[in-house]
Amino acid sequence: MKLHEYQARDILARQGIPVTGGGVATTPDDVRRIAEAIGGRVVVKAQVFVGGRGKAGGIALADTPADAEAAARRILGMNIKGLTVEKVLVAEAITYEREIYLGVVMDRATRAIVLMASAEGGVEIEEVARTNPDAIVKIAAHPMLGLLDFQARDLAFGIGLRDARQVRQFAQIASALYRIYMETDATLAEINPLVVKADGSLQALDSKIVLDDSALFRHPELEALRDSSDEPEAERRAREAGITYIKLDGDIGCMVNGAGLAMATMDVVKLYGGEPANFLDIGGGAGKEKVKAALQIILSDPNVRAVMFNIFGGITRVDEVARGIVAALAEVPTSVPMIARLVGTNEVEGRRILAESTLIPAATLAEAAEKAVAAARTS
Ligand code: GDP
Ligand code: MN
């Protein structure tokens, strides 16, 4: 789950990281009022869950409250990478000399939580990562001891900070960001840009926090911050139905029970030359309603040209799944070909139910994948 910039900013502020004040607004009038209260130059920033808002025109500096209102008129309702801007953050505009990048991520390659920093922060950080990776300094936190003070200082030295006060402040900010990452069970916490002001002090101008959905049950106060307006419809429905769904770019929809089996299914689809349209795990013991929801979610993707069911009935009963498929097809008529490999508990009854439908049966996973790939090519 992603947090909006203004929500992440509040978390940073609570941990003592210097951030810019200001308020959130949904109308140009409110933007003007906030700008009047701040006084002086302000920045109006679109609150949408995408990076690169600046480049997309979603961030504007305004010298007067009237300018801020005009900027808000333009930005509110604007479409940035498919998302409509419904809220803006209005904050005091900061004058600065340099932009630094600071991030905390889970690095699966080194199996550690890694802090990354770069003296070349700002909107070109992806470009820096691609063309000049050496400009990004990385330090792995100790799995038991956490981020040690000397490591935070090393990170500061690594990006060329030398002034003692600045190094100390940077180390404090890095430690606080690491603490936030750990305490909120985040998968990403970053500040970009962290700016150096004329007096040498540091301030966070933009931050991003992504939370681990699987750990959200431990943080009801963070779960309460969820903004479903920006969540893709299919993902929202999957979450509400308790289905794990990840959209991919291919054309073969997959419905599987169990995460491991779902991954194996995708591998076999690819082995037969196909491209999965999604990862979908309906979970153990899934009943009719869940199957129906899953099928509707899969079919809501216009790229899907064939659907493949791979159900291994253990606790999940194959006949229940078969009934769910039939019920879903009755409600969502579709011409998309469907291939089903259903084995395990109550499979005879399951097969009998499906024999009366238009589903193409397959005895093995390989056969199902082969048929799904062929069906996607010709449908
Ligand atoms: P992003 O493009 O979505 O990452 O949004 P950011 O909040 O990082 O803003 C992008 C850029 O806008 C920054 O790198 C700055 O150049 C500029 N910017 C944002 N806030 C301020 C501010 O308070 N003052 C000034 N001068 N520029 C700002
Ligand atoms: Mn940014």
- Which entry of 6, 101, 178, 245 is annotated as an active-site residue? 101
Determine the distance separating the centroid of ligand 2 and the alpha carbon of 104, expressed in angstroms. Answer: 14
DSSP letters for 104-168: EEEETTTTEEEEEEESS-STTHHHHHHH-GGGEEEEEPBTTTBS-HHHHHHHHHHTT---HHHHH
Q: Are strands 42-46 and 59-62 parallel, antiparallel or unpaired?
A: antiparallel
Taking ligand 2, which is a single-atom ion, which protein residues have CB atoms under 5 Å away?
192, 206
> In the predicted model, is pLDDT for residue 253 greater than 80?
yes
Per-residue pLDDT of 133-146, as tens digits, reads 999 999 999 989 99
* pLDDT band with cut points at 50, 70 and 90 for residue 26: very high
Who contacts 237 (Cβ-Cβ below 8 Å, separation ≥6)?
293, 296, 297
Residue 245 annotated as catalytic = no
**Confidence at residue 120, expressed as pLDDT on a 0 to 100 scale:** 94
Tell me: pLDDT of 34 over 80: yes
Would you state the pLDDT for residue 218? 97
How confident is residue 293, by pLDDT bands cut at 50, 70 and 90?
very high
Residue 314 has a pLDDT of: 87
Give all domains of the chain, ordered by start, each with its CATH number.
Answer: 21-92 (3.30.1490.20), 96-223 (3.30.470.20), 231-378 (3.40.50.261)
If DSSP codes are grouped into helix, strand and coil, which group holds residue 44? strand
Q: How far is it, in rounded angstroms, from Cα 156 to Cα 174? A: 9
pLDDT at 329: 87
- Give the number of residues written for the chain: 379
Other C-beta atoms within 10 Å of 256: how many?
A: 24
Rounded to an integer, what distance in angstroms lies between the CA atom of residue 94 and that of residue 38?
A: 12
Answer whether the bond into residue 133 is a cis peptide, omega within 30°.
no
**CA distance linking residue 253 with residue 303, whole number of Å:** 9
On the 0-12 / 13-18 / 19+ scale of CB atoms within 10 A, 254 is buried
Contact indicator for 22, 68 with CB cutoff of 8 Å: no
Cα separation of 146 and 167, whole Å? 19
Q: Summarize pLDDT for 68-124 with one digit per residue, the tens.
A: 999 999 999 999 987 899 999 999 999 999 999 999 999 988 899 999 999 999 989
Computed over every residue of the chain, the mean pLDDT equals: 94
Instruction: For tokens 């990004």, name the residue.
Output: 136
- The yes-or-no answer on residue 223 being catalytic is no
Taking alpha carbons only, the member of 30, 24, 139, 183 closest to residue 90 is 24
> Which tens digits make up the pLDDT trace of 270-292?
999 999 999 999 987 777 889 88
The pLDDT score that the predictor gives to residue 283 is 86
Q: How confident is residue 321, by pLDDT bands cut at 50, 70 and 90? A: confident
Q: List the catalytic residue out of 5, 69, 99, 190.
A: 190
- Quote the pLDDT of residue 51: 83
- Predicted TM-score (pTM) of the model is 0.79
| Rounded distance from Cα 94 to ligand 1 centre (Å) | 9
pLDDT one-digit tens code per residue, 180-238: 999 999 999 999 999 999 999 999 999 999 999 899 999 999 999 988 766 778 988 99
Residues with CB under 6 A from ligand 1: 43, 45, 51-54, 59, 93-94, 99, 122-123, 192-193, 205-206
Residues above pLDDT 70, as percent of the chain: 99
pLDDT recorded at residue 52 = 87
Mean of the pLDDT values across residues 300-329?
Answer: 91
Residue 95 CA, closest ligand 1 atom number = 26
Residue 42 token pair: 């302000």
In a 13 Å sphere around the CA of 20, the CA atoms on its Cβ side amount to 28
Share of the chain above pLDDT 90, in %: 82
